[in-house]
Structure 1
């Protein structure tokens, strides 16, 4: 009983520390039965290059955000329900080693760990927590996932009209197919229910496909232009998961546009090991975590 009370108090303090690190912009993370399993830094492949992000694994959700002030504070908090996650193991890539793919309804993205051991630990612990959460909730895993974005560097031309990108012809991404496209080829907006409750940027080919399948409202069919989507219909007010309320693709773009390359490179060389939040807690391993997952 004493050990259980001590663990409960320590767990509450850990979660409170995570909440505080995101400041007033972060959402409350504490709820009865929620346990912080582990945390660490992973490289997340963003539009232009990999960026370091802090990740927190709980028994029911995965939380991540951008790192500021040498890792003492975080922003752009993202919350993903484990039932909605699908993992795919990948071979080492040109830009990232020890990588894997995290698919969710809202967005899908590549991450990499400092070592193969940490990669396998992250993947195993996420899968273990997901399995137990599905059993506890008595539900089936999700099957609708967002398309992964093709990185900017993968194409020097628009993948629809083949025109070369220049200073005055910048890159954009279609939220439906993930292609790198120019503004002229992505003026349309559409509501993609598992991605956003509001119209998002889609390329002309995807817009035509959605129109052919009757997936667009009349307002969306008529809409052209306005990158903020104000001409599009907002009538789709769906009840979305909590992590749908925030969008970090645009946040990644803003950070990437202003962050020096040297800062990013220095972060790659200063990995934070996958461990519990507080330094006096032992780093979890496959044996140590099993006691908290049961």
Structure 2
């Protein structure tokens, strides 16, 4: 028996290796052989049997040979892959070296534009991240054979290099801006004075306008030289934090500049009013290509914005350092020095609440957004809940005299600018329903949404501040033509597709707002990008380009498609989808009486959520009273009612017993002779009293 078992085992092994041989012969030369666990017909022919008397040991030797051949094939395949990877990497290195050589040649000509391989301070955080990620992809194969820890260290090393480059390149741009103010502008004033034969502005006034700039130029030129030297020799010495530690005590010059900034800008404004020739020189200088369409005041803000930039870059640098290295300790010390300089600047300022508030906001925003802008005034800030499709989300908003900032919190305790919404063309509306007494809607060309405050009082504060800021922004446009232009934009912005609609939240709609078919797990919700309604797929099968989205074709409902198609040409040429929009689509229609009044009808005497005792359970539904009829809906934005109750002849009364889980003062009922009573309860006693009063009024003919 033992011999028989041994033979069976050897036969199975032989069959397995014969399968391998068959697979190897059927595979192509360039492919890696695959091992199959199932035998083919030819395999069965090779299967050893006792009748044929094949030698099992010989088959095993053959299988071992096949296994060695397979191993050799895999090794050859890996060698080919490695050779191709090496050739690609060498080509990428050659391209990188040629690019660096070109950049070195461009560096010799001075320009305000930053180096192409070094992102400038004008670059957004996403742009810097993109440049880094593309470099990382180029050496992705380099980390393929590394362990996870080694690959992570390699990525952090490259990120440190990118941050060091960004620090040096942004310093180059900043120093160039200082040269523009302290050298080029002074030269323009001197040339105009020589041409006139006398000074166009007294020297002491010009020195007051450009106060502290000569010292800042010297400081930052020295800092730039050291940073550039470290970046150029990065492979040999991957350190940059000690440079900032060495220059740290001198960075307090920024505090003096910030403290005197308001006096400097006031001196500039006064000098332009007092000396017409000086005003002309300033205007011509700002219009020159050197200024790149920026004003002197905007350039004078650069030193104030530089300290927060140092802090942000150092924060990213520290996050990518190994904790147990000397550079990590130096970077933490440098970050502490820069933070102290920013704090010292805030403490030394005596410029008024507005400037201090703007500076504080600048230090709390993590991405490279410039809070400080000429003429900008801080008005209000606070947290509001944004009503999204699925849920309420906390968001932080800051209202300025020219825009509304929409901020998102970051894990580091800062804020990131998600949107900057200009006040021009902005509209604010509220809903009258008691259930939405904390909500208001904001409409802009770029983005529209519903916000919810913590209380009706807070909502009124935001409404008042927003409406006043919008009105003041319009009045600041002094010329008649500008006002006329804004008025035309405001009227056109209300046209379909020209401004972003507010999307109706999913939970407030249970049926398609066009055909009234109910939504289910398979019959899903879709939002029209033109009006914001919630519709089904059948009612939104077309795509049209909308102006507020840059004419990108997006999903639109059938009603909006018809409205947008009817133009001067009578038909929109870029409509995408199936079907003829001119013909009316056959829709599932609810009974006429159920569609007479929508759940959000503005002409109703009372509307809101109530709980009704229905089929031995409490059901929360939306109720509307209009013209002596009570309409019942599943949700607050449904377009067809579930049922209606004519209220004439009913009496409103109190519930005297039962329902112990509900407070007695929140319960009430409607009763009619010969009918079962309709029992309700409201969320608060005050709301219950209001509903009883509205129902009593609706039960009587006035």
TM-score range, shorter chain: 0.5 to 0.7
Aligned residue among 450, 465, 475 for 1:110: 450
> Whole-Å Cα distance in 1 between the matches of residues 505 and 570 of structure 2?
27
Report whether the alignment pairs 1:19 with 2:365. yes
- Structure 2 CA distance for partners of 1:9 and 1:55, relative to 1, 3 Å: closer
The TM-score with structure 1 as length reference comes to 0.62
- Structure 2 CA distance for partners of 1:184 and 1:42, relative to 1, 3 Å: same
Report whether the alignment pairs 1:211 with 2:565. yes
2:547 match: secondary structure? coil
- Structure 2 CA distance for partners of 1:75 and 1:152, relative to 1, 3 Å: farther
1:90 paired residue number: 431
Unaligned runs of 5+ in 1: 226-294
| Higher relative contact order structure (alpha carbons within 8 Å, sequence separation ≥ 6) | 1
1:46 paired residue number: 388
Over aligned residues, Cα RMSD in angstroms? 3.1
Deviations 1:1-37 (A, max 9, x none): 77873546524413413532xx36xx44432222232
Deviations 1:29-73 (A, max 9, x none): 43222223221111222223332211111111001134454x934
> Whole-Å Cα distance in 2 between the matches of residues 72 and 157 of structure 1?
41
Q: Which has the higher strand share?
A: 1
> Whole-Å Cα distance in 1 between the matches of residues 424 and 542 of structure 2?
32
Unaligned runs of 5+ in 2: 1-261, 264-348, 495-499, 580-702
Alignment of 1:107-256 (within 5 A): 107-138=447-478, 139=483, 140=486, 142-143=490-491, 144-145=493-494, 146-213=500-567, 214=569, 217-218=572-573, 220-223=574-577
2:446 match: secondary structure? coil
- Structure 2 CA distance for partners of 1:92 and 1:66, relative to 1, 3 Å: farther
2:400 paired residue number: 58
- Structure 2 CA distance for partners of 1:88 and 1:208, relative to 1, 3 Å: closer
Deviations 1:174-209 (A, max 9, x none): 122222112333232222213544222201232133
1:42 match: secondary structure? strand
Q: Is the 8 A contact 1:155 1:180 kept in 2?
A: yes
- Structure 2 CA distance for partners of 1:189 and 1:93, relative to 1, 3 Å: farther
> Whole-Å Cα distance in 2 between the matches of residues 81 and 163 of structure 1?
39
The TM-score with structure 2 as length reference comes to 0.28
- Structure 2 CA distance for partners of 1:134 and 1:212, relative to 1, 3 Å: closer
Q: How many residues align?
A: 218
Deviations 1:87-124 (A, max 9, x none): 22433543x44222222233433222222332222122
1:5 paired residue number: 351
Q: Which has the higher helix share?
A: 2
Q: Which has the larger radius of gyration?
A: 2
> Whole-Å Cα distance in 1 between the matches of residues 379 and 417 of structure 2?
21
Report whether the alignment pairs 1:79 with 2:427. no
